[in-house]
Chains A and B, each alone.
Chain A
Amino acid sequence: KQEVTQIPAALSVPEGENLVLNCSFTDSAIYNLQWFRQDPGKGLTSLLLIQSSQREQTSGRLNASLDKSSGRSTLYIAASQPGDSATYLCAVTDSNYQLIWGAGTKLIIKP
């Protein structure tokens, strides 16, 4: 059974710092991995999708990597801003085409 874990559960950093969020999964048989952002009480915004054959994806200040063999992904945020404060969720599409989610990392960027 696929399980997705995100560490840390919460993170608070000063504005301007670079930071890394971690995601691990137990079964390497995935179609893709996605990183999402969720603002309080709101729906989900897709940030980056990495297909299983890819190693990384970049969008602006965000860079996501995927190491399928070790069951790990990282989301790197450069030059953090207060507007980056949100909960970040990772999810994998498993062999049954279902999204399996981590519990998220709550990120606070202090001005």
Chain B
Amino acid sequence: ETGVTQSPTHLIKTRGQQVTLRCSSQSGHNTVSWYQQALGQGPQFIFQYYREEENGRGNFPPRFSGLQFPNYSSELNVNALELDDSALYLCASSLIRGQSREQYFGPGTRLTVT
């Protein structure tokens, strides 16, 4: 059973550019969530996808968008990058089954916007 993987590990972009981050869910999981973690803070929920549909969204603007594919892998897209978008982006997968909601996290992608 493979864990959650994310790519790339690190990324440097310029303000105004667009970026795509990728996440491969743990085998058998049907739900993926994305989080942004700024330096020295706890993660903030961006959105969640369940069976390819957005299933909840945090307080992030529309320039943050996502996709979930039939194999349950996922992408996070950020348009018109701003300096404040510099953060660690974490992906987590889970299997919604009964009351179980445990999420399993990938290692994250460190995004730096200059």
Write the residues of chain A forming the contact surface with B, with a CB cutoff of 8 angstroms. Answer: 4, 31-32, 34, 36, 41-46, 49, 51-52, 89, 91, 93, 96-104
Given A42-B108, A45-B105, A99-B92, 20 other A-B residues pairs in contact with their CB atoms under 8 A: A32-B101, A41-B110, A43-B88, A43-B106, A44-B90, A49-B102, A51-B99, A89-B42, A89-B43, A93-B103, A97-B55, A98-B45, A98-B48, A99-B35, A99-B43, A99-B45, A101-B42, A102-B42, A103-B41, A104-B42
Contact A97 to B56, CB < 8 A, known contacts A31-B99, A46-B104: yes
Complex: chain A residue closest to B108, CB-CB: A43
Can you show 16 pairs from A to B with CB atoms below 8 A apart? A34-B102, A41-B110, A43-B90, A43-B107, A43-B108, A44-B90, A49-B102, A91-B42, A93-B101, A97-B48, A97-B96, A99-B35, A99-B43, A101-B35, A102-B42, A104-B41
A100 to B96, CA, bound (A): 17
The size bracket of the interface on B is 20 to 34
A91 to B102, CA, bound (A): 11
For B108, what are the chain A residues with a Cβ–Cβ distance below 8 Å? 42-43
For B96, what are the chain A residues with a Cβ–Cβ distance below 8 Å? 97
A3 to B59, CA, bound (A): 14
Name the prevailing secondary structure of the A interface residues: strand
A31 to B55, CA, bound (A): 17
Complex: chain A residue closest to B107, CB-CB: A43
For A100, what are the chain B residues with a Cβ–Cβ distance below 8 Å? 45
A18 to B113, CA, bound (A): 41
A37 to B84, CA, bound (A): 25
Determine if B90 and A101 form an interchain contact, defined as CB atoms under 8 angstroms apart: no
